[in-house]
Structure formats: C-alpha cells, structure tokens
Amino acid sequence: MGRAGPLVTLGIDLVVGSAPPSKAGSAAAISETSNEFGFALGIAILGSIGTAVYRTQIAGAVPSGVPAAAAQSARDTLAGATVAAGDLPGQVAAALLDLGPGGLHQRAARHRRHQCHAIEWRRSATSSSKWALRQFLARVMLLRTTGSRPVAPVK
C-alpha cells in the first residue's frame, strides 16, 4: 500500500461512518475489497502504460542482423532483450545488448535504451499523479455537496 495508508484509512472511515450501525461490517468489507481491487487495477494500468511507452520508443532501435524472434523479444521488454541475446552468436548478441566496442553507434543505442526506460517510468508516474489529483478533487467536491450527518452512537 505504501504511502496511501492515510488515504485508505480516511476512505474506510468515511464509508463506515456513513453506513447505519447495523451495516457497518458490510460497509467495511465492501470498502476493503474496493481498495484492494483499486490498487490491483492501478498497478495493471500503469504497467500497461509503461509497456506501451517502452514498445513505442524501442520499436526502431533494434539493430539489423538480429533474427525476427529475438528482435520481437527485445521489443517486448528489456528482460526479453537480455534473454534473447543469450541465444545469439557473440557479435549479434553484443549488437542487441550494446556490449561491443564503445563506438558512437553503441553509445547512442545504449543511451536510447535507457532513455526509453526512463520515458516509460516518467509517463506512468505522470498519468498516475494526474489520476490521483482528479480523484482527490472529485472527492472534495462530493463531500462539500453531501454534507455530513450525525450517526447515532451504538448501544
């Protein structure tokens, strides 16, 4: 859960506090299930965004001479490029992983690969931050319009 603890605590308190006392257990269970689903969905969405960005950025960066299957693995993930290079002959693997002599082409390819990975993380973080801000503002507006109602103490 990381740093979302206070947000989750406040959310559950809001849900349980607005439910009638006889339904508080059900409200807490639904709230907890919703939180877990939301976290899992968020991870899946951000991972999908990151993968799409990486694949878009790396599409033209695979060197020529790499077999089609190995090139496809390299385009899929950075780990796929490493595994595919393990099955290739020395020079082709070096070209794929950029392990050859430090010429201009190799440095450019290395820089491009690291840049693709950085762009992937930056875009995922940006979209996550924008989504969180929109959710926060929506909840603030919702709380202002609904007001609060007192809950009778449980006897």
pLDDT at 86 over 80: yes
* Predicted local distance difference test score (pLDDT) of residue 100: 40
* Predicted local distance difference test score (pLDDT) of residue 101: 41
Long-range contacts of 11-18 (CB under 8 A, 24+ apart): 11/35, 14/143, 17/151, 18/149, 18/151
pLDDT tens column, 47-78: 888 788 777 777 777 777 788 888 888 888 77
Return d(Cα 90, Cα 99) in angstroms, integer: 10
pLDDT tens column, 28-43: 888 888 888 888 998 8
Return d(Cα 115, Cα 122) in angstroms, integer: 10
Nearest by Cα to 13 from 144, 143, 145: 143
* Predicted local distance difference test score (pLDDT) of residue 124: 78
* Predicted local distance difference test score (pLDDT) of residue 112: 66
pLDDT at 44 over 70: yes
Return d(Cα 97, Cα 89) in angstroms, integer: 12
* Predicted local distance difference test score (pLDDT) of residue 108: 57
Return d(Cα 82, Cα 107) in angstroms, integer: 17
- Extract the tokens encoding 59: 């599409």
Return d(Cα 109, Cα 98) in angstroms, integer: 7
The larger pLDDT score, comparing residue 109 to residue 89, is at: 89
Stretch 81-98: mean pLDDT: 79
pTM tops 0.75, yes or no: no
pLDDT at 96 over 60: yes
pLDDT tens column, 99-149: 444 433 455 566 666 676 677 778 778 887 888 888 888 877 777 766 556
Return d(Cα 39, Cα 45) in angstroms, integer: 10
Residue 31 and residue 8 in contact, taking contact as beta carbons nearer than 8 Å = no
Return d(Cα 50, Cα 118) in angstroms, integer: 10
